[in-house]
């Protein structure tokens, strides 16, 4: 069991929650209970999960020496020696193979375009571009958006412009907040993108709140979009706006107090926030699918 836990940590299983973005086009396109489409999207999500695990392992290899000198990252399985380099390579190879098989089953060879693009961008990020200010943020955001586009391809459902803009803004907010917390916790020496020629705390703090405000506005516009009102028989989605604002405020309060840079840790370890997300999910499920019954 201890070995399984070490490898789950190596694979960053907890970060699979990010891949829920792949389900968004299916869910908000009111096709969640279309079984063939659901199976296709779930297979595609699994393929992305395994590929992201391989990417995390590759990044751990690239940062192995610096992680060993970091007070928090030295606890990672590879940096701490809990998982051998041979074992990590085998896990990465197996993850890639599983990703390729599941991707083929889900979306045919076209799925490899999305998986290959995600893999290539993250290899460039790990090797060089994470040391380039602005570019590192752009690539982090691109990884999230690619999940959304991949889900749209698998489900055959287009993404609304307001959903795209909302997700884009939230992703910039999260990525900038991640860098801000890293700078606050580790100082300018924590990353090469910090310091006199890179990010300052004020720059990251100011711009993350700019994108948070944009995200709230775009979400309100999405909830008020005429096409949503017409398909649901009323402007019911507007009632979800207070819940979504509460989620953003709760997450932001936790991010301000937390010394952790990882958004997933902030998200999953706070019960009120998880409860708010459950309420929002239930509200969407009822509002979007009750008219079909």
| More confident site: 86 or 195 | 86
Average pLDDT over residues 166-180: 94
| Other Cβ atoms closer than 10 A to 257 | 9
Examine the pLDDT at 286 and tell me if it is beyond 50.
yes
pLDDT for 102-134, tens place per residue? 999 998 889 999 999 999 999 999 888 888 899
Residue 29 is given by DSSP the state T
Average pLDDT over residues 169-194: 85
Q: What is the pLDDT of residue 181?
A: 87
Q: Sort 80 into a burial class: Cβ within 10 Å, 0-12 / 13-18 / 19+.
A: middle
> What's the pTM value of the predicted model, to 2 decimals?
0.91
Q: What is the pLDDT of residue 234?
A: 65
CA atoms within a 13 Å half-sphere pointing along the CA-CB vector of 11: 21
Closest CA to 253 of 167, 169, 177: 177
| More confident site: 233 or 209 | 209
Contacts of 5 (CB under 8 A, 6+ apart): none
Examine the pLDDT at 98 and tell me if it is beyond 60.
yes
What proportion of the chain, given as a percentage, has pLDDT over 70? 95
Q: What is the pLDDT of residue 256?
A: 87
What proportion of the chain, given as a percentage, has pLDDT over 90? 57
Q: What is the pLDDT of residue 235?
A: 77
Q: What is the pLDDT of residue 73?
A: 74
pLDDT for 261-271, tens place per residue? 678 888 888 89
Q: Under a CB-based contact definition with an 8 Å cutoff, are residues 85 and 78 in contact?
A: yes
| More confident site: 185 or 102 | 102
Average pLDDT over residues 23-28: 94
Residue 159 is given by DSSP the state P
Sorting pLDDT into bands at 50, 70 and 90, what band is 1? very low
Q: Under a CB-based contact definition with an 8 Å cutoff, are residues 12 and 34 in contact?
A: no
For residues 231 and 254, give the distance between their C-alpha atoms in angstroms, rounded to a whole number: 36
Q: What is the pLDDT of residue 155?
A: 93
Torsion angle in degrees (nearest 10) through CA of 83, 89, 90, 94: 120
Average pLDDT over residues 57-65: 85
For residues 158 and 252, give the distance between their C-alpha atoms in angstroms, rounded to a whole number: 30
Examine the pLDDT at 228 and tell me if it is beyond 80.
no
Sorting pLDDT into bands at 50, 70 and 90, what band is 230? low
Q: Radius of gyration of the chain from Cα atoms? A: 20
Q: Which helix or strand (DSSP H or E) is residue 34 part of?
A: none
How many helices (H) and strands (E) the chain has is answered by 14, 0
Q: Under a CB-based contact definition with an 8 Å cutoff, are residues 245 and 262 in contact?
A: no
Examine the pLDDT at 233 and tell me if it is beyond 60.
no
Average pLDDT over residues 164-180: 94
Examine the pLDDT at 291 and tell me if it is beyond 90.
no
Q: Under a CB-based contact definition with an 8 Å cutoff, are residues 162 and 225 in contact?
A: yes
Distances (CA, A) of 267 to 84, 271, 277: 30, 9, 10
As a whole number of Å, the end-to-end CA separation of the chain is 44
Average pLDDT over residues 13-38: 93
| Other Cβ atoms closer than 10 A to 272 | 11
């Amino acid at each position: 069991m201890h070995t399984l836990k070490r490898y789950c940590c190596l694979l960053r299983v907890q970060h699979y929650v990010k891949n829920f973005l792949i389900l968004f086009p299916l869910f908000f396109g009111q096709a969640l209970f279309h079984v063939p489409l659901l199976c296709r999207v779930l297979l595609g999500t699994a393929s992305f999960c395994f590929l992201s695990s391989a990417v995390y392992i590759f990044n751990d290899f690239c940062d192995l020496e610096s992680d060993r000198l970091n007070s928090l990252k030295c606890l990672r399985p590879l940096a701490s020696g809990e998982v051998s380099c041979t074992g990590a390579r085998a896990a990465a190879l197996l993850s890639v193979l599983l990703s390729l098989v599941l991707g083929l089953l889900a979306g045919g060879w076209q799925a490899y375009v999305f998986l290959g693009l995600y893999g290539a961008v993250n290899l460039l990020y790990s090797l060089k571009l994470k040391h380039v200010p602005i570019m590192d943020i752009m690539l982090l955001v691109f990884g999230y958006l690619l999940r959304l586009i991949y889900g749209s391809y698998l489900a055959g459902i287009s993404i609304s412009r307001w959903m795209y803009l909302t997700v884009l803004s939230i992703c910039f907010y999260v990525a900038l907040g991640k860098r801000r917390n890293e700078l606050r916790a580790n100082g300018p020496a924590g990353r090469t993108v910090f310091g006199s020629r890179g990010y300052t705390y004020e720059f990251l703090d100011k711009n993350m709140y700019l994108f948070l405000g944009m995200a709230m506005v775009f979400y309100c516009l999405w909830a008020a979009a005429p096409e949503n009102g017409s398909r649901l028989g009323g402007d019911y989605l507007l009632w979800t706006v207070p819940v979504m604002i509460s989620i953003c405020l709760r997450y932001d309060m936790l991010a301000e107090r937390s010394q952790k840079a990882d958004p997933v840790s902030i998200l999953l370890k706070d019960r009120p926030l998880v409860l708010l997300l459950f309420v929002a999910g239930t509200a969407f499920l009822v509002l979007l699918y009750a008219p079909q019954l």
